[in-house]
């Protein structure tokens, strides 16, 4: 354990490098990337998996002017040297974690590079935005594009939680927000948002795995917004009360199913009145991790995910894991434990 290796750029050297496994983290030298790096290193420790550090750069192309105009590229040696310095600094930062660390500098679009790596990675980690310098798009647009398309779960680490990671920043907006909110104790809790969809149940299973790794409590949250769209016609408060009662029945059945697969897990369930985004963002302030799926039923609560996941990612005050839809044999026995939302057409 503790081995380190810097992989060459295969496109530059004419070879191919092995696809990274374990935890992959994107860095660009920014404070955002540093927070993501620290979180990823701690996660690699928890999972006892290797950590792969990557940065990506693109060579600028310029259009010439005049009658003989055309396109020209610049020598990438200086750009690449800067990128190599970033990953070497990152490797030094995590040298004391006692994990196997490798790193690579890739020539290409950051989103595309990380998306390719998600084919073999166990987890992708990145910050909410980056320096906007020579590495181009790591991070920022990357953090918006990847969760929706990655083949493995992704974790976005916002700069606002730098203090809980022992990191510092000179970002004035972040410093002002941290000063305003004050020091907040972080509960050893993993929160997962649910809406009765199968995608949410997949997210619950991944959240339960994460809670076990952290030795944390799992809090399953369902938020029901005010009437909108197809529910706007409902006239009586009693109808909403009945809706809550129906949802609670399905949540209780879901918790019974979850406990059958995680009998030793400390888990609780909360049903709240309010916007799913607001509820999950509020939880993110004081819990270890918020977990959501990539999309949901768009039915009775209008969550998860899609617009909800996007809203949580943009406003969260702590790390957010987005779990892509995937097959899991444990989903097959869920109907045995009670009603599923939309059971009439889902069973």
Is the predicted pLDDT of residue 266 greater than 80, yes or no?
yes
Q: What is the mean pLDDT of residues 120-131?
A: 84
How much is the average pLDDT of 116-140? 70
Are 156 and 290 members of one domain?
A: no
**Claim to verify: residue 167 and residue 24 sit in the same structural domain:** yes
Domain-ending residue, one of 133, 151, 178:
178
Give 60's pLDDT tier (boundaries 50, 70, 90). Answer: low
Check which CATH number belongs to the domain holding 145 and give it. Answer: 3.40.50.620
Classify residue 236 as exposed, middle or buried by CB count within 10 Å of its CB (0-12, 13-18, 19+): exposed
Q: What is the mean pLDDT of residues 267-273?
A: 95
Instruction: Place 305 in a pLDDT band, splitting at 50, 70 and 90.
Output: very low
pLDDT recorded at residue 159: 92
Same domain, 164 and 247: no
Lowest mean pLDDT among 60-64, 188-192, 229-233: 229-233
Task: Tell me what pLDDT residue 142 has.
Answer: 58
Q: Beta strands of 249-326 (E only): which ranges? A: 267-273, 287-293, 320-323
Q: Residue 139, preceding bond cis, omega within 30 degrees?
A: yes
Strand partners, 63: 71
Chain-centre distance of CA 51, in angstroms?
A: 16
pLDDT tops 90 at residue 210: yes
pLDDT score at 102: 96
The model's pTM: 0.85
For the chain, how many structural domains are there in total? 2
- Determine which of 73-82, 171-180, 240-249 has the lowest per-residue pLDDT on average: 73-82
Residue spans of beta strands (DSSP E) within the chain: 4-7, 23-26, 51-57, 61-63, 71-73, 101-107, 123-127, 154-157, 187-193, 217-224, 267-273, 287-293, 320-323
State the pLDDT at residue 182.
Answer: 77
Pair 231, 136 in one domain: no
Both 168 and 200 in one domain: the answer is no
More confident residue, 38 or 142: 38
- Domain assignment present for residue 335? The answer is yes
CA distances from 108 to 73, 78, 135, 241 (A): 14, 16, 9, 53
242-272: string of b/e by CB count within 10 Å (b at 16+)? ebeeebeebbebbbebbeeebeebebebebb
Residues 82 and 149 in one domain: yes
Quick check: is 144 in a domain?
yes
70 found inside a domain? no
Asked if 259 and 297 sit in the same domain, the reply is yes
Check pLDDT > 50 for residue 13.
no
CA distance 114 to 124: 8
Domain final residue pick, 148, 178, 208: 178
Indicate if 130 and 213 belong to the same structural domain. Answer: no
In a domain, 234, yes or no: yes
pLDDT band of 302, cuts 50, 70, 90? very low
pLDDT of 109 reads 83
The CATH number of residue 333's host domain is: 3.40.50.12370
User: What residues make up the domain containing 200?
Assistant: 184-342
As a whole number, mean pLDDT of residues 235-258 equals 85
Tell me the pLDDT of the chain averaged across its residues.
Answer: 82
Confidence of residue 300 (pLDDT cuts 50, 70, 90): very low
DSSP string, 142-205: HHHHHHHH-SS-EEEE-GGGTGGGT-----HHHHHHHHHH---PPEEEEEEE--SSHHHHHHHH
Kindly report, residue by residue over 316-329, the tens digit of the pLDDT. 999 999 999 899 99
């Amino acid at each position: 354990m503790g081995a380190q290796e810097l992989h060459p750029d295969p496109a530059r050297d004419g070879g191919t490098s092995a696809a990274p496994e374990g935890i992959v983290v994107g860095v660009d030298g920014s404070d955002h990337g540093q927070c993501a790096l620290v979180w990823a290193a701690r996660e690699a420790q928890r999972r006892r998996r290797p950590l792969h550090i990557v940065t990506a750069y693109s060579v600028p192309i310029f259009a010439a002017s005049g009658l003989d105009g055309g396109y020209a590229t610049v020598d990438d040696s200086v750009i690449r040297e800067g990128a190599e310095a970033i990953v070497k600094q990152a490797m030094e930062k995590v040298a004391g974690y006692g994990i196997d660390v490798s790193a690579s500098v890739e020539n290409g679009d950051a989103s595309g590079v990380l998306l390719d790596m998600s084919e073999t990675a166990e987890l992708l980690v990145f910050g909410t935005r980056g320096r906007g310098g020579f590495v181009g798009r790591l991070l920022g647009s990357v953090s918006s594009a990847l969760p929706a398309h990655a083949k493995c779960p992704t974790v976005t680490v916002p700069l606002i939680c730098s203090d809980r990671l022992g990191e510092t920043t000179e970002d004035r907006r972040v410093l002002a927000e941290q000063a305003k909110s004050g020091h907040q104790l972080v509960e050893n809790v993993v929160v997962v948002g649910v809406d009765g969809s199968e995608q949410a149940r997949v997210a619950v299973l991944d959240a339960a795995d994460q809670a076990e790794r952290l030795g944390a409590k799992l809090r399953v949250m369902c938020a029901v917004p005010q009437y909108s769209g197809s529910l706007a016609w409902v006239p009586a408060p009693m109808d909403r009360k009945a809706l809550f009662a129906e949802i609670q029945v399905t949540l209780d059945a879901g918790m019974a199913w979850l406990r059958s697969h995680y009998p030793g897990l400390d888990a609780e369930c909360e049903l709240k009145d309010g916007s799913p985004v607001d509820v999950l963002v509020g939880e993110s302030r004081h819990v270890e991790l918020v977990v959501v799926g990539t999309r949901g039923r768009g039915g009775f609560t209008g969550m998860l995910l899609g617009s909800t996941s996007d809203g949580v990612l943009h406003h969260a005050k702590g790390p957010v894991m987005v779990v892509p839809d995937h097959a899991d044999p444990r989903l097959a026995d869920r109907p045995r434990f009670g009603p599923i939302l939309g059971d009439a057409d889902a069973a």
